[in-house]
Amino acid sequence: MDKSDANIPCGQWLELLDELSIGAFTVNFNRRITSMNYTAQALMGLKENEVIGNDCREIFTGVPCMVQCLLRGDDDPTTEEPDVEIFNDAETKHLLTRLATPIYDRQQQMIGCLTILQDHTPIADLVNRIHYGERSFKIILDNLDVGIFAVNRGGYITFFNHQAEKISGFDRRQVLGKSCSTIFEGEGAHDLCLLKESIADGSSRQSRQGKMITKDGETIPVRANYLALRNEKGAIVGGLATFHDLTLVRQLNRAISAKYTFHDMIGKDPGMQKIFEMVNVVAATDATILIEGATGTGKDLLAGIIHSASRRADKPMVKVNCSAIPDNLLESEMFGYAKGAFTGADRDKPGRFNEADGGTIFLDEIGELPLALQAKLLRVIEDREFYPLGSRRTEKVDVRIISATNRNLERLVAKRQFREDLYYRLNVFRIELPALKERRVDLPLLIHHILRRISAARDDRRVGISEAAMEILLNYNYPGNVRELENILEHALIICREDFIEPRHLPAYLHKKKAARKAVPTLGMADDASLDVHERERLLKTLQQFNWHRKKAAAALGIDRTTLWRKMKKHDLFP
């Protein structure tokens, strides 16, 4: 049989392309049309029985079918022609991308050619009827400021645009052909169910508080719309989702309501997971909690999470930094004062405990509380009552007490710098937050999470991070913990004007390999007496260098004056 008259077996391929809304037709060596799918028929305004056996040059006006693949063969099997505009019988304009590839028989002999016609218009109409002129569909979707992905009826991802890559962290090559449960919270996820329901009945659905899983396992908030995709025969062939990242919205809502959730504290490290499990249990109680951890580990954030998960969430959470308020004002700030208690006290003034009534009071840097006030705090914990400064009447309050410190209270008790009875009252339930260098498994997750959060807050473009920059960040010890990591990444985002953070965008001190590998003594929590001695010597030397000028000394040490004052009291350093 002459191969120019051979029957070309492409029926299954044409049906598959139909499901993807892609037009296709086949021709033999004589340029005679041997088959054409429904999408191509609808696109051209022709029926298959009108064209089978005819010369394609006579049928497809405006679509050249001098198919080069028949001439090129194995040397260049697939050819892509420039986009072409055509008009159907209704004078509707279509912009087509053409792709041609040879067809072989079982003996690997070329017997014809398959031409694919990708019409941009139908899919664009599904996405808010985009009018793109001569732009190709793929470029338009990749430049939309909205995440878009499509799935077939089995729920497997067939399209994933550039914004979807940015929001999720996945490269499209990592998700194409995979189940969309990859980017949701498993098969039972609410959003996945909505998408499946849309595919099942053809109705569109909306998810205002959706959730998506990033490549790093982080759960992010999204607003999504789901709809069914149909082919030219009207049959449902899959589904399409459009979604927006609501990270910035959640940050603004959190700032307004001051409510936190476990999504605000990231951690896959087993130690962090254990803390989350403990907090889930203790948050529902009214137990007094002591949070210990080095500076920058997120003690205040964890306190906020505990309050937001408690029965007191609708009541105020009042924060008191015991090291930031001068000793002579601390009592009146915490417990208030009565009119006439001192010169200028012309009215009663409630204290922080009064403000927290019914809610939670968070006593940060509790290790800096003067001994005189420790006795008064002990009575509040035991009796839930206190005397305002200058008052003869007690005031009762219903508060939950959460305290935090970056110092080792047990050692302070041994030094008689902290009351033992108060320590045991505060230490009903103790949570110790690990330093960042002790939970390195969380570093990649934290880095991507912080980059997303900072970019969203600044309404800036999404920036990735190169392997070289990531290697530097993964090998640094972070004496300032998560807070230092945030500062490093914000520094990089300010400098970086490209799509990826490179090593040159990171602070200069990170490039010093010795400093990156060597454990740096910190002005934070000291578990070893030698670190305490080193800290005292360093402070004393700096203070003497600047003639006890605290502002200059603090600047030289890289800390604020409040922290310096607290350290001076800790080590009994005064001129």
Pairing label, strands 289-292, 429-432: parallel
> Which pLDDT belongs to residue 366?
92
CATH number for the domain spanning 400: value is 3.40.50.300
Do 543 and 508 have their domain in common?
A: no
Q: Backbone phi, then psi, for 86, in 5-degree steps?
A: -130, 165
CA dist 545 and 436 (Å) reads 32
> Which pLDDT belongs to residue 234?
79
Residue 358 reports pLDDT greater than 90: yes
Do 262 and 181 have their domain in common?
A: no
> Which pLDDT belongs to residue 337?
86
Indicate whether 252 belongs to any domain.
no
The tens digit of pLDDT for each residue in 39-63 reads: 888 777 778 888 888 887 777 655 5
Query: Mean per-residue pLDDT for 514-533?
Result: 47
Cα–Cα distances in angstroms (integers) from residue 396 to residues 52, 89, 261, 335, in the given order = 92, 85, 30, 11
Indicate whether 129 belongs to any domain.
no
CA dist 224 and 245 (Å) reads 9
Q: Backbone phi, then psi, for 377, in 5-degree steps?
A: -65, -35
Do 66 and 145 have their domain in common?
A: no
**What is the domain range of residue 159?**
139-245
Check residue 397 and give left, alpha or beta (phi > 0: left; psi -120 to 50: alpha). beta
CA dist 538 and 534 (Å) reads 6
Do 31 and 45 have their domain in common?
A: yes
Q: Backbone phi, then psi, for 114, in 5-degree steps?
A: -105, 125
CATH number for the domain spanning 24: value is 3.30.450.20
Query: Mean per-residue pLDDT for 512-526?
Result: 45
Structural tokens at position 233: 């025969």
SS3 category, 416: coil
Indicate whether 524 belongs to any domain.
no
Do 450 and 304 have their domain in common?
A: no
Indicate whether 253 belongs to any domain.
no
> Per DSSP, what are the bridge partners of residue 179?
156
Domain end residue (candidates: 91, 119, 147): 119
Indicate whether 127 belongs to any domain.
no
Indicate whether 170 belongs to any domain.
yes
Indicate whether 223 belongs to any domain.
yes
Q: Backbone phi, then psi, for 214, in 5-degree steps?
A: -80, 175
Q: Is 182 exposed, middle or buried (0-12, 13-18, 19+ CB in 10 A)?
A: middle
Let me know how long the chain is: 575
Do 28 and 166 have their domain in common?
A: no
Q: Is 234 exposed, middle or buried (0-12, 13-18, 19+ CB in 10 A)?
A: exposed
Indicate whether 125 belongs to any domain.
no
Average pLDDT over the chain, rounded to an integer: 77
Higher per-residue confidence, 540 vs 108: 540
Do 541 and 491 have their domain in common?
A: no
Domain end residue (candidates: 200, 223, 245): 245
Do 408 and 277 have their domain in common?
A: yes
The tens digit of pLDDT for each residue in 266-316 reads: 777 788 888 888 888 898 899 999 999 988 888 988 898 899 888 998 898
Query: If we measure between CA atoms, which residue out of 302, 300, 318, 423 comes closest to residue 367?
Result: 423
User: Which pLDDT band, with edges at 50, 70 and 90, does 384 fall under?
Assistant: confident
Do 34 and 106 have their domain in common?
A: yes
SS3 category, 464: strand
Do 370 and 443 have their domain in common?
A: no
The tens digit of pLDDT for each residue in 424-457 reads: 999 999 999 998 888 888 888 888 888 877 876 6
**Angle of helix 270-282 versus helix 299-308 axis, rounded to 10:** 40
CA dist 447 and 510 (Å) reads 15
Q: Is 29 exposed, middle or buried (0-12, 13-18, 19+ CB in 10 A)?
A: middle
CA dist 26 and 109 (Å) reads 16
SS3 category, 533: helix
Mean pLDDT check: name the lowest of 234-243, 249-258, 277-286, 376-385.
249-258
Domain end residue (candidates: 473, 488, 517): 517
Do 362 and 287 have their domain in common?
A: yes
Query: If we measure between CA atoms, which residue out of 165, 157, 159 comes closest to residue 448?
Result: 165
**Structural domain count, the chain:** 5
Query: If we measure between CA atoms, which residue out of 439, 433, 469 comes closest to residue 451?
Result: 469
Do 413 and 462 have their domain in common?
A: no
Find out whether 562 and 569 touch, Cβ atoms under 8 Å: no
Q: Where are the alpha helices (DSSP H) in 111-158?
A: 121-126, 137-143
CATH number for the domain spanning 533: value is 1.10.10
